[in-house]
Amino acid sequence: MSSALRSAIQQSRRSAFARTARFASTSAKAPTLKERLADLIPAEIENVKATRAAHGKKSFGPVLVDQLYGGMRGLPALIWDGSVLDAEEGIRFRGKTIPEIQEALPKAPGGSEPLPEGLFWLLVTGEIPTQEQVTALSKDWAARSSIPSFVEELLDRCPPTLHPMSQFSLAVTALNHDSAFAKAYAQGVSKKDYWQPTFEDAMDLIAKLPNIAGRIFRNVYGGGKLPAIEADKDYSYNLAKLLGYADKPEFVELLRLYITIHSDHEGGNVSAHTGKLVGSALSDPFLAFAASLNGLAGPLHGLANQEVLVWLRKMQSKIGENPTDDAVREYVWSTLKAGQVVPGYGHAVLRKTDPRYMAQREFALKHLPDDPMFKLVSQIYNIVPNVLLEAGKAKNPWPNVDAHSGVLLTHYGLDQMNFYTVLFGVSRAFGVAAQLIWDRALGAPIERPKSYSTEAIKKMFQDKQ
């Protein structure tokens, strides 16, 4: 997509939201998220109609055969409203950068990091919520947080050797038992109202993930009976409590930041696209997000942060805790010469340092500047890009989000690396759920791209230069 067209579409969407804006400060009672969404949907339906009427027959440009063989890299094929990833400036959530949302979104009392509840509101509505609206959302999720007893039993009967992500996917799939959308669809709900039960399922999905994640953590790694969620606390505090870390305020703050920056990264990554694809078949949000989790579990997607940590620990064991720059540089070169990649560096889209990495770096500089592993990460940050450029190994030699997150979690004692992708999954639910709601509100059709065999491609071009 050309930058001009992308800007025009984004501006059109912002204008549509602005035309229907009704801010809490002008009303006696702030609207709930569902009420605000109901206000926004009619204008966005018209906005999409107008965009398609104006641009529907225009071309993004040629599709190259290499793109079909190369994982569809750069192939424009999806509508994803919550976030857009720019190769040079990184992710924007509804047009806002990470520093902008860190400043604008409501915080917990005494906290400085954005509440994920506010980020979800932004992803769904395109608006910054009030503190009152975020508090109401926290309470709503706490009220929805319990999981069915049969799901608890499913998790309790899983062997501790079953990977936490497999257990996570299993439990989320089982929540389909109580899907509001599945029930409404069976009863013949009108297509124009699909978004309403989808919204309820999306809210239930996000609300129940801490209880699922906490139960998996304690079953696999110990920690005793799962405590109760506190109705007057925010989402991240309750997740920290279920993991056994509520007594560490800095860890709670880290979770608020972690969930926010991992929530969405436009629609083309494996977990986001999988959720959208499965949802397009009108599978309910539980089934769609369970599929997302299975994609996230892959080593090329959600396991990258633990691979970074393993690599860092191997480096420490080989060259010590306080290595010289020359020692680090030599170790990086030995990794490349062994035919391996430097984990945590490079990105399929980005061509600069990932803003999510920088947000985590700022957190570390504030809260754990003397941590030995953080010092090593900082040292590597100053060395690896030049080595990768010299080696010609990467179009983007800069660090991505995975280069930092494991180090932060480990600092606070969460060193169970197989569990890290579960936290990533909890976060990614926010972006997938928001898009599923809008897909049903806008009547998005089932996905059905065209595929070709190698022989068909050869035949197609055999008489062409």
Q: Which residues are catalytic?
A: 301, 347, 402
74 burial class (0-12, 13-18, 19+ CB within 10 angstroms)?
middle
Structure tokens at 440: 């049903």
- Give Cβ neighbours of residue 320 (< 8 Å, ≥ 6 apart): 327
Neighbours of 413 (CB within 10 A): 11
